Amino acid sequence: MHLTDKNKVYTLLKMIEEVQDYAIILLDKEGIIQNWNSGAKKIKGYHSDEIIGKNFSLFYTHEDQLNKKHLKLLEQATKNGRASDTGWRVKKDGTWFWGNITITAIHNEMNEVIGFGKLTRDLTEFKKNELAKALKARELKIKELEQFTYIASHDLQEPLRTVSNYIQIIEEDYGAFLDQQGKEYLSIIDQAAMRMKALVSGLLDHSRLGIKSKTTSVDLNEILKATLTDLKSLIESKKATVHYPKNLPNIIGYKVELHQLFLNLITNAIKFTNDNIAPIIIIGCEKRMNHWEFSIQDNGIGINSKNFDKIFNIFQRTEETLHYKGYGLGLAHCKKIVELHNGRIWVESVIDQGSTFYFNLLSQTNE
């Protein structure tokens, strides 16, 4: 028995209709959905009655829609006969899937484009595996780097201790034989050794952040209260005023590190002011979609925008503030602490008007 052309076309259409692993969609020239197979229903979640007549742009993320990605793909397919793309797409229930699509132009006898055939493959599982592998590799690298930093800074302490001890011995046993210049040289070596000690111990503290701690439910009201108690004498000596909300949330996090985060940011807000201006610090806390956004605003010397990222790197300080005491560690600690909580930290600032440091922490409990 031979298949007629009609049989062949019918069989092909039936296969297209029933294939499950591909979404096969017929679009008109404007991208309006004309037909839809069962694979499309499986991948995108719409029944054909709900989707036919709608523009295919609704599978695109808000950002892609704003960038008119769907229209650009149709233009490309019109021009070249075919367009393909891989990226996140949106299902009926709002969840995303990683889709690989090919759009092919359909022409009439006059070679005019009259519509498009669109084929979509759901590669979410593949993408998830890829992301998980990349994440694992990154975690391993970070762990390795942290171990290296820990070992390096730990082992550097011993020879430094020896240098400091011998400086002391020279001062005590041979101080009487040194002239003024000799004493000055010794004092420079001593200061350099002390500075190096502080840097090494700062590096060690940095690599230890979060290592031995466990997450618990943390009451941020308590943390802020304890921080302000720690800073009582600095606040009084600088005549600073600190305004803060009375009902901060509880969050799941690392208690000791969160204390350090508030302590570093509020200390900086008080420290980086001109002597003739009494610091006014305003602490804010706003609920966002799935996190809390905190802000610590000061009326201090401000930061040049070219340094907004740099100051969060370890040992980085700005030229304008070299006369203030410090090693450029506080904000690097803050960044690591916020990232331990899967959050983000950033700054906005205007020179001579003040700075606002923002960070967010996931809201998970007892809001």
Residue type, 138: R
Among 210, 249, 279, 330, binds ligand ADP (CB under 6 A): 330
Using CB under 6 A, which of the segments 69-77, 142-150, 237-245, 320-328 binds ligand ADP?
320-328
Is 311 one of the binding residues for ligand ADP (CB under 6 A)? Answer: yes
> Contacts for 34-42 with beta carbons within 8 Å, 24 or more apart?
34/115, 40/120
Using the minimum distance from each CB to ligand ADP, give the nearer residue, 260 or 363: 260
Count CB neighbours of 49 within 10 A.
8
Using the minimum distance from each CB to ligand ADP, give the nearer residue, 89 or 206: 206
Say which residues have a Cβ less than 8 Å from residue 281's Cβ, sequence separation at least 6.
240, 241, 242, 243, 266, 269, 270, 296, 297, 298
Q: Which two tokens stand for residue 64?
A: 């892609």
Give min distance, CB of 246 to ligand ADP, in A.
Answer: 23
Is 303 one of the binding residues for ligand ADP (CB under 6 A)? Answer: yes
Is 318 one of the binding residues for ligand ADP (CB under 6 A)? Answer: yes
Among 124, 215, 321, 364, binds ligand ADP (CB under 6 A): 321
Is 260 one of the binding residues for ligand ADP (CB under 6 A)? Answer: no
Say which residues have a Cβ less than 8 Å from residue 361's Cβ, sequence separation at least 6.
251, 253, 291, 292, 294, 338, 341, 343
Using the minimum distance from each CB to ligand ADP, give the nearer residue, 88 or 327: 327
Instruction: Note whether 265 and 334 are within 8 A (CB).
Output: yes
Q: Which two tokens stand for residue 235?
A: 């606040």
Is 203 one of the binding residues for ligand ADP (CB under 6 A)? Answer: no
Among 203, 331, 337, 338, binds ligand ADP (CB under 6 A): 331
Report the DSSP pairing between strands 345-350 and 354-362. Answer: antiparallel
Using CB under 6 A, which of the segments 35-43, 65-73, 222-230, 265-273 binds ligand ADP?
265-273
Give min distance, CB of 315 to ligand ADP, in A.
Answer: 8
Among 209, 269, 281, 340, binds ligand ADP (CB under 6 A): 269
Among 37, 268, 297, 360, binds ligand ADP (CB under 6 A): 268
Using CB under 6 A, which of the segments 40-48, 131-139, 238-246, 316-324 binds ligand ADP?
316-324
Is 115 one of the binding residues for ligand ADP (CB under 6 A)? Answer: no
Is 300 one of the binding residues for ligand ADP (CB under 6 A)? Answer: yes
Binding site residues, ligand ADP, CB under 6 A: 264, 268-269, 272, 298, 300-301, 303, 311, 317-318, 321, 326-332, 355
